[in-house]
Amino acid sequence: MSKKQKLPIRIVIADDHQIFREGFKLLLNNQPELLLVGEADNGKSLLKLIEETLPDIAFVDIKMPEMDGIEACKIIKTQMFETKVIALTMFNEDYLIIEMLEAGAYGYLLKNTNRDELLNAAKAVQEGKNYYCSSTSNKLVKLIATNRFHPHRQLKANKLSVRETEILKMVCEQMTNKEIGEKLGISNRTVESYRETLLQKTASKNAIGLVVYAIRNGIFKI
């Protein structure tokens, strides 16, 4: 087990309501696997906090003053290295889900989440997977099915090689680079190279785009 795996997952919370941040802290009681290293009340403060603390995961509200969670997520995705974003919000409207996921969020939770789901989401995202609460998952399936969540142009599936298609299916199954590498007998670096190639060939910005591409081209079925 690596050193990083042994340590607790370092997290920050961004929400403009202090009462919610206090409630969030209560959810972390008796959770040795999660370590809160900071909190912010708006998007700009969150960016500064991440620069100072370098957390693994940022739980981010969507509607905040000065800079909202969507804009903050875009900046974190492009500039904040390893920090991954999980939306933690009271809003479950279709357009907000789409905008947050397109901005690069790895997960989407509603504020009525519980302690177990909070931990499960953090663990999944820390491993490079995506995590959505059941309500958001159902909405996401409908958005894809009705063609409302398809931010990238559709390309023909035959542009992918057999190995690329194989790895794309594993990505859709939320397998980590390490799991894919072990199953195929290739290195993590090779898997990362395949992922980058898949992003380029499918014109996708992130794993969500890959899943959308795979579903629309019949490569993966939910």
What CATH number is associated with residue 141?
A: 3.40.50.2300
In this structure, the answer to whether residues 84 and 131 fall within a common structural domain is yes
Residue % of the chain over a pLDDT of 90 = 43
Q: Provide mean pLDDT across the span 165-172.
A: 92
CA distance 131 to 168: 18
Q: Is the pLDDT of residue 145 over 50?
A: yes
CA distance 170 to 179: 9
Mean predicted lDDT score pLDDT of the chain: 84
CA distance 178 to 150: 28
pLDDT confidence of residue 202? 85
In a domain, 17, yes or no: yes
Q: What range defines the domain where residue 14 resides? A: 8-145
Kindly tell me the burial class for residue 111, based on how many C-beta atoms sit within 10 Å of its own C-beta (0-12, 13-18, 19 or more).
middle
In this structure, the answer to whether residues 97 and 203 fall within a common structural domain is no
In a domain, 2, yes or no: no
- What is the number of domains present in the chain? 2
In a domain, 82, yes or no: yes
Which residues, 6 or more positions from 212, have their beta carbon under 8 angstroms from its beta carbon?
144, 149, 150, 151, 152, 204
In this structure, the answer to whether residues 84 and 135 fall within a common structural domain is yes
Tens-place pLDDT, residues 28-72: 988 899 999 999 999 999 999 999 999 999 999 999 988 899 989
In this structure, the answer to whether residues 120 and 193 fall within a common structural domain is no
In a domain, 1, yes or no: no
pLDDT confidence of residue 199? 87
> How does residue 142 score in pLDDT terms, banded at 50, 70 and 90?
low
**pTM for the whole structure:** 0.64
Q: Provide mean pLDDT across the span 168-194.
A: 90
Q: In what order do the strands lie in the sheet with 84-89?
A: 34-40, 9-14, 57-60, 84-89, 107-110, 131-132
- The residue written with tokens 């969020």 in the block is 105
> How does residue 4 score in pLDDT terms, banded at 50, 70 and 90?
very low
In this structure, the answer to whether residues 179 and 129 fall within a common structural domain is no
Between 13-17, 46-50, 150-154, the lowest mean confidence (pLDDT) is in 150-154
In this structure, the answer to whether residues 133 and 167 fall within a common structural domain is no
